[in-house]
Amino acid sequence: MIVLGLETSCDETAAAVVDDDRRIRAERLFSQLDAHRPFGGVVPEVAARAHLEVLDGLIAEVMAEAGIGFADLDGIAATAGPGLVGGLIVGVMMGKAIAAVHAKPFIAVNHLEAHALTPRLTEGIDFPYLVLLVSGGHCQLLLAEAVGRYRRLGTTLDDALGEAFDKAAKVMGLGYPGGPEVERWARAGNPARFPLPRPMLGRPDCHFSFSGLKTAVVQTVDALPPGPLPDTDLADLSASFQAAAGDVLVDRTRVALGMVEARTLVVVGGVAANAYLRARLQALADSRRVRLVAPPLRLCTDNGAMIAWAGIERLCLGLTDALDVAPRPRWPLDPDAEPVAFAGVKA
């Protein structure tokens, strides 16, 4: 079984061809960072136009590298949500068009499910497993029970951790995206210098909150002498922020591990590329005698291979979609989860 996967949910355009034997035949990714960097964040209209300009070229490249034609595909998968609606429309319409012209099944993929299923592509792990999904727009703990069946244990009440990294970096005068910049500066910093808060630490549930941590960074910068921060301050504040984030992730994940029977902990999403946070979670996994699985760095951030693999997983179960399926900017993995105040799109 061979599936073409298309990803256009935010600011990266991606396409990939993947086999059901877990082989990535070809993958391409076009990053829009240069287009969005002047604005300090993603501009939805700019992102949608960029997807439209490059997606067809990426598809041609992966199909050529894979050495196949559209007739050889068993299905076309595209991210249908959650995400920025303009970008979602580009990918979904392109996927539908290819499916319609070549009479192939179309699979509308939930972007969050694609992240959650990535370790089954890279490691071949079995259900059930605990998922810590941390990215720019999402921060959740979920029990993955089967394809299409997820139980949400915790979610952010306000901001996602990736968003908090970006905000902290912006306040400190670092570049965009903020996650890699904060991680780089933190390597030389003193994580104990600035006493930043650890929101929700010690709570019996496993929800998250990062707005207070963001505010504390702003207040800390405001209390320092005006002007660009010296390198020592940048390093120490970055390290202090990263340590606080690590404490929160470990504490919330520890609670979740006590709530479910799972011998594997999976960390996915763009923030999962942070080496410091991976090490903290590895120490937790070792202490609880569970296996930690984190995808290769290139598969932590948005990519086409995870969409293609999610398409394969669903196609194997006969879960395809009609060509009138609509993009869903909001699409929770656990629609039956109890509503959480202020969780909004991050639920």
pLDDT, tens digit (0-9, with 9 covering 90-100), for 35-50: 877 777 788 888 899 9
| pLDDT value of position 38 | 78
Q: Give residue 254's pLDDT band: very low, low, confident or very high (50, 70, 90).
A: very high
Indicate the pLDDT class of residue 342, thresholds 50, 70 and 90: low
Q: Summarize pLDDT for 258-292 with one digit per residue, the tens.
A: 999 999 999 999 999 999 999 999 999 999 999 99
Q: What is the pLDDT of residue 347?
A: 38
pLDDT at 346 over 80: no
**Each residue of 309-341: pLDDT tens digit?**
999 999 999 999 999 999 999 999 999 998 876
Topology (CATH level 3) of domain 2-116+298-331: Nucleotidyltransferase; domain 5 (3.30.420)
Q: Is the pLDDT of residue 62 over 60?
A: yes
The CATH homologous superfamily for domain 125-296 is ATPase, nucleotide binding domain (3.30.420.40)
pLDDT above 90 coverage of the chain, percent: 89
Contact 229/241 with Cβ under 8 angstroms?
no
Segments of the chain assigned to CATH 3.30.420.40:
2-116+298-331, 125-296
| Dmax (CA) of the chain | 64
Q: Is the pLDDT of residue 298 over 90?
A: yes
Average pLDDT over residues 61-70: 98
The closest alpha carbon to 53, from 74, 34, 32, belongs to 32
User: What's the pLDDT at 37?
Assistant: 79
pLDDT category, 344, cuts 50, 70, 90?
very low
Answer yes or no: is pLDDT of 343 > 50. no
Q: Give the pLDDT mean for 169-182.
A: 92
Answer whether residue 89 shows pLDDT above 70: yes
